[in-house]
Structures are given as structure tokens and as C-alpha cells.
Chain A
Amino acid sequence: MDIKSRSGIFNKITKGYLLVFLVPSIVFIAVFFLLPVVLTFLIGLTSMDYSFKWDWVGLENYFKIFSDRWAYKILTNTFFYVFSTLTLFNVGLALVISIATTHISESVGSIFRAIWLLPRITPSTVYALLWLWASRGEESSLFNWICSLFGLNPVDWRLNYPWLLVILVNGFVGTSFGMIIFTAALKSIPEDYIRAAKVDGASTLQIIRHVELPLIKWPLLFVTAYQTLSLFTSYEYILLVTNGGPGLYTTEVWALYSYHLAFAQYGGIVKFGYGAALATVLVIIGIIMSIIYLKMFRFGELMTEPKIEVG
């Protein structure tokens, strides 16, 4: 047997082994991702309610989305919510905190970052309640007390500025994820680069702009992509704080609308079919966004083996 064919057999055996090792994760993905997606899609083709009957209606639920008077408003809300929270907090503020806390002493920086982790580790309902108390319309609420220091009148923040509240509540939780990733990336930049820039006379801002930011490009893109998809499907805090209100669908996002139709109606009359169709649309949007991100940010390059092995 020549060397080439032996090497081929070896490769096949290696691939076989790799496949065996991949089986657990393939099963995991199939059971917890693919199967729910298929089930959601199938339920979206029915008019299922609490009778749990598979009454097939074809694409009727999808056509209904187009004629749904509120679907456009809710879709606009969703994009607004995702874009605002992402730029202001999940990426924007996360980046600012990471840069700021890595440019001060390590112990003080760690304390600041630990404080920013508090919203993440607080139970959702407790966290939402704290915000609701802080933003109440009474003069004694935290927000209004701060406003009174500047001579401003008390305001019911939830009723008058619901989006501000929704973005703040979500943003304060979402910031910590980016902050951890960015901090780790910034700390991994070799000290020599910073020193060299300083020797060349670069200011702190110039070091951030021309040295640090380009070097954390991949983490930045990863957090942006990951958080976009995560925000698209999130509704937990909106449910707890405004429940999509005040008024009619003022802060209702797509995922919350799907939840409301599928599970949360007064008379216990639910629309599993229509809710599932809405959720399927969300899955499709997610897949499209993922492909765009993968292409736009050239994730392929990130994953390829380096051309030169630096020892």
C-alpha cells in the first residue's frame, strides 16, 4: 500500500472518529433547535388552540400576518428596540465601560465591572420591580426625586416615556455581556503595541482609535451579531415593565406579540397557530440576519487557520 492510500484511510478513520465525537452536539442541536423550529413551523400551519387539535389551515396564518393591522407597527417597534438597545448599550456602552475600566487601575476597574454585572445576576422580576418603583409617577420615586433637584415636575416615566424605560432596563442588563468580551479582548492586546504607540507620541484617544479598536474588531463584530439576534427574540423585560403598553402595542415587539397571542389572553382563548406563525417569521429574520452578518463581517476569515504559525 502506497503512502497516499494509507494517508487516505487514515483520514477516513480520523473523520469517522470526529463524527463520533460530534454526535452528542448533533443530537443536542437536533432536539433543542431543529425539532422546535420544525414543530413551530408545523403548528403555524394549523389553527390550534386549547383544544390542541391539528386543524390544518395551510398558509392562512402567514397571509393573516400581512393583513394584520398591527403587524407593521410591531415590526417597526422591534427594529427600533433592537437598534437602540444595541447601539446605545449592548455594544456602545459596553465598549465605553471596557475601555474606561482598562485604562484605570486594575482593582478600581474590576470593581466597576463587577457593579455592572449586578443587573445580570439579579432575578428578572426583582430587577424589573426595582425599575418600576424607581420610575413611578410619585414625587418620592427615585427618578422624580432626581428631577426635583433640577426643579423639574414629577412624571410617570412608564406612561410618558415607555421606550426610554424599556431601553434602559434591557440595556443595563445587556451591557455586561459585551463588557466582559471587550475587556478580555483589550487585556489580551500585547503591552508592547501600546508602549510603541506611546513612544511615537500617540495620545490616549489616538491609542484607542488606532490601536485598540482595530485589534478588537472580531470580538466587536461577534458581540454585535450575537446581541442583535438575542435582542430580536427577547421580550422578558418588556413583558415585566410595560407589557407592550402603555396604550395599544406602544412597546410591543414581535416576540412579545407572539407570546401574547399564544399564551396570554384574558379568556384563556389562545392562538397557538398564529403565534407559531409569528415565531416562524422571527426565525426566518434571524437566519437572514445571521447570513448577512456572516457575509458582511467575513466570519470565514476569522475561522480559517492562520497562514503563518507564530511560535
Chain B
Amino acid sequence: MRGGQVSLTTIVFLVIGLIIGALIGYFAIPRGPGTTEDVQAIIQERDQLKAKVQELLEALKPGEITVKVWTIGPDPPSEYRLKNIQIAADILNSMLKTLGANVTVKVEGEFFVRPVEWGEYKNNFYLAYQAGEAPDIYLTGHEDIGFLAENNYIISLDDYINQYWDVVYYDVISTLWDAVRYKGKIWGIPQDTEARPLYFRKDVLRALGWSEAEIEELPKKIMRGEFTLYDLLELAKQAKDQGLVERGILHRVKEGYDYFQFYLAFGGRLWDPNAAKMVFTEDAWRKTLQWFYDAVYQYGVISPNQFSGDWDNDFHLPFTEGRALFLSGGTWHKGEWIQKGLLTEEEFNSNIGYALHPAGEPGKKPVTLSHPLVYTITKLAKDRGVADVAFLLITLATDPHLNSYHSVQSSHLAILYSQISDSRYTQDPFLHDVAYMLDYTTFIPNHPKWGDYSRIVFNILRAVETGDLTPDDAFNELKSQIQSELGEAVIFE
């Protein structure tokens, strides 16, 4: 570790401590004339601190510290994932300049957007790492933490978090720490989270003869479990049969995690925290595969080629143009539609509704799925001696004001309690409306073999939709593949 970085971190920590101390002092100490001794003591303490800062500054080697950062959308509105780190660097540089330090921090950042998808982004990271060109700060999905930690790609952050706990980390929404914990340690700092709503077209429901009150009631009925996944198929079929829409239900067109919501809605479990193993709920998988088959071949409301579609032509446009009734999406899609000009705020508010994903059958619960993205610090950063500065940047970027830029623009949910009262956040009715969904959410498992589970499920679901496998065959195939490839890592129930 280079002396320069240690000193820099210590200085900034001292400065932050000074500011916090000053604020506490200002608010906590009762106003009054004060004694001469008190004033003398404060002046003495300040001078000592200044002397220490001065001493550290003199020890600081002049120069530029470069921190390499990789982030991804892939939706363009999520650009603040990188911008906030750059803003953090600006803040840090201002602090250093004020202190008279002859050192600056430079961020070399990348923000990847489509056509780069998650798979390609992650491939690039692993290959770059082997070539010694990986970033110091790497933004990724929380589910990668198991694999990254297990193979020494990233470092644990517990010590840093303890060090800066009172600065900002006390404010992180507590459940999010579960998403970044692996084998008892914390390996990432939450950057954002989201819910995955089921969007619906209010105008199509109006054309079906629904009253405004009935439309407004739909999310509540779903929340109470009174409207199930099979009711969803019925309704979509009705709209399609009447020629109101070309497509009933749209789901993502590439591999992902969204469709695990249907399994959860049928009562499936993904993770057993006690055993720290993934879970395969047989009954739920049977019902899920049957539901997808019925959706395509009994009700005709999902295209058999939906998984081979194109994001614009088979996902966004049919819905934003009112040619599809339902879309299983994420909160960030609202931000994407607005930024791309596919919908205006007015059109969104008047024609688009959103709800949880309905329960699979009566008696089951509605669901959503969250996939927090996290900043990690690579081992390469530690080897290069910039891990401390990298963490400092993440700490400064984990700020209610800065993170709200991201949440509001990209329609992601807050990661900090104080953010919920941020004026911009509270003024966004959509973010306010979907906040309750987090009470129904599940995280995907932080297991090194989660990617295998996910890939097997994707291929089997695709085969059901295309008619290559019947639901029964699909179930047997799914179970046998999970058994043979994942074995002990999965509990079958």
C-alpha cells in the first residue's frame, strides 16, 4: 500500500470528522456566552487537528491517483452509476485543494449501455482481470458476489464500512446488507435496487369495459391475492380475442432473472438462508412450467418466440404503443420509456398501471424480485494501492442527494433511509407508488453456482415456450439437469 494513499484517506477522514464534529458541536452545545476555558480548549483542539492535517499533507506525495471504474446500465438512464463516482472525485479534489494538498484523484470510467448486455460486460471484466487491466471499482449484480469473493476477484469491505459507518453507512436500508453478504462478510456497497412490476395498459382495460374504479382496484386485488396468474391469462386472452391488442403478455426477450417471479408466485423458494443453499421447490416448478405452456398454447397470449425477440420490437414498442396489455418489467423501464421518448409523463400516468406479479393460485402471495446492483472493489485495486481511495469515492457517492439523481432519472428505488425524504424522490409519484412492493420482494441467491441454476431454467423455459418440451418433460429435464450439475448446492423440496 502506498504511503500517499494512506495519508490521503486519513486526511479526508479527519476532515469529514471535523465537519461532523463541528455540526454536532454547533447543534448539540447550548447557545450561550461560554467560558473562556471552553473557548480556549476548542481553539487548542482545532490547532492540534490543523497541525496534524498539515503534517500528513507534507508527507503526501504530490501527483495524480487514477481510479478505474466500470459500470453498466445497460439502460442509458442509469448513467449516474458512473457520474456519481465522477462527482465524488470532484468533491474529493475540492477538499484536497482546500487543504492545500498537491494531489488529485482522477476517475477513468466506463458506462456500458446496450448493445452491451450483462453477459458481455461480465466477460469483459473477467478477461480484463486476467490481463491485469480490470477496474478498481466494479459495479455488478449482487448475485455475483459469491463467485467473485470465492475466487479472490474482490476484497471484503467490513473494515472500511466500520471505519465510515457514521458517515453514511448507518443510513443504508438494512435489508440491502443481506444482498451483499457472503460467508459472513460484506463484499459490496449497494448502489441501487428496484422492484419488478407487472405493467398494464389502462386504455385497453377501458376499451374492455372496465370502469376507472375497477382499474384502480386491480393492483389492490393483486396485492390481496384475489387476482391470480391464471386470471391474468384470462384477461389477456379476452383483450386479444376482442382484437384490442396483438399480444397479451410480454416478458423479457433475453436471459435474465425476471421469470423466477412466476416460480415464486407459485410458492417456490430460491434460497435457504439457514443451509446457505439454493432451493428447488418441485410443486412450484411444475406449476410454473405448466403456466408458461398454457400461456403460449392454451391461451395464446405469449408468443412462442418471445425469448428470441428484439428489445424494441418485441418488448418496449408493442407495450408503449398499446399493442400489448401486460408487460412483466422493472421499475427502470419507466425511466427508459420516458428518456427514449416512447411515452410522456402524462401518457404514462393516464394509460399505464403497475402492480405486483399476481399470486400463482388462490392462497399464494403476489411477488416481485429485486436485484440490487453493488459497487465492489477488486483485488487488483488493493494490489495497486488504490483500494482506500476507491472506497472513499464510493462513500462520497453513497449520498442521498447524489443517489436520488440516479433513482429519479432511472426509476430505481432508494438505498438510503434519508433518500426517501429527499424532495426529488418524494415528488416522483411512481417511485412513491411502487415503494410498497419492497415488502413483497425476494433477492436472488448469492451463490457461486446461481448462474448455472439460472441458465438451466432459461433453456427449459425457452423449450416450453417453443413447444420443444411438454411441461412434464420440461420438469423432468429441469430437475435432472439441476441435480446433475448443481448437486449438493441445491435443496429439493
Interface residues in chain A, defined as those with a beta carbon under 8 Å from any beta carbon in chain B:
50-52, 69-70, 159, 242-243, 245-248, 250, 263-270
Contacts and interface: CB of A to CB of B under 8 A. Distances in A.
A246 B118 contact: no
Nearest to B140: A268
Interface stretch (B26-34, B419-427, B457-465): B457-465
A267 B459 contact: no
Interface stretch (B77-85, B97-105, B123-131, B216-224): B123-131
Contacts of A51: 147, 150-151
Contacts of A248: 459, 462-463, 466, 468
A267 B451 contact: yes
Contacts of B125: 268
A201 to B, nearest CB: 58
Contacts of A245: 305, 307-308
A263 B124 CA distance: 10
Contacts of B130: 52
Contacts of A70: 459
A69 B256 contact: no
Secondary structure call for the B interface:
helix
A69 B484 CA distance: 13
Given A50-B126, A69-B477, A269 B466 contact: no
Nearest to A242: B308
B455 A267 contact: yes
Contacts, number: 78
Nearest to A249: B468
B455 A247 contact: no
B147 A264 contact: no
A247 B119 contact: no
A165 to B, nearest CB: 13
B252 to A, nearest CB: 10
A267 B143 contact: yes
Contacts of A69: 477
A288 to B, nearest CB: 29
The 3 closest A-B pairs by CB, nearest first: A268-B122, A269-B451, A267-B451
27 contacts: A50-B126, A51-B147, A52-B130, A159-B305, A159-B308, A243-B308, A245-B307, A245-B308, A246-B305, A247-B305, A247-B462, A247-B466, A248-B463, A248-B468, A263-B123, A264-B119, A266-B254, A266-B255, A266-B451, A266-B454, A266-B455, A268-B118, A268-B119, A268-B144, A269-B449, A269-B452, A270-B123
Contacts of A269: 147, 449-452, 454-455
Nearest to B462: A248
A69 B462 CA distance: 14
Interface of B: 117-123, 125-126, 130, 143-144, 147, 150-151, 254-256, 304-305, 307-308, 449-452, 454-455, 458-459, 462-463, 465-466, 468, 477
A36 to B, nearest CB: 17
Contact of B256 (A52, A266, A268): A266
Contacts of A243: 308
Contacts of A52: 130
A48 B144 CA distance: 17
Contacts of A270: 123
A159 B306 CA distance: 10
Given A50-B126, A50-B147, A69-B477, A265 B451 contact: yes
B271 to A, nearest CB: 16
B131 to A, nearest CB: 12
A247 B304 CA distance: 7
A243 B120 CA distance: 14
Given A50-B126, A50-B151, A69-B477, 4 more contacts: A248-B459, A248-B468, A266-B454, A268-B118
Contacts of B118: 266-268
A266 B117 contact: yes
Nearest to A162: B308
A264 B115 CA distance: 14
Nearest to B130: A52
Contacts of B450: 267, 269
B454 A247 contact: no
A269 B451 CA distance: 6
Contact of B122 (A242, A246, A250, A267): A267
A51 B150 CA distance: 9
A277 to B, nearest CB: 15
B403 to A, nearest CB: 25
Contact of A247 (B144, B254, B255, B308): B308
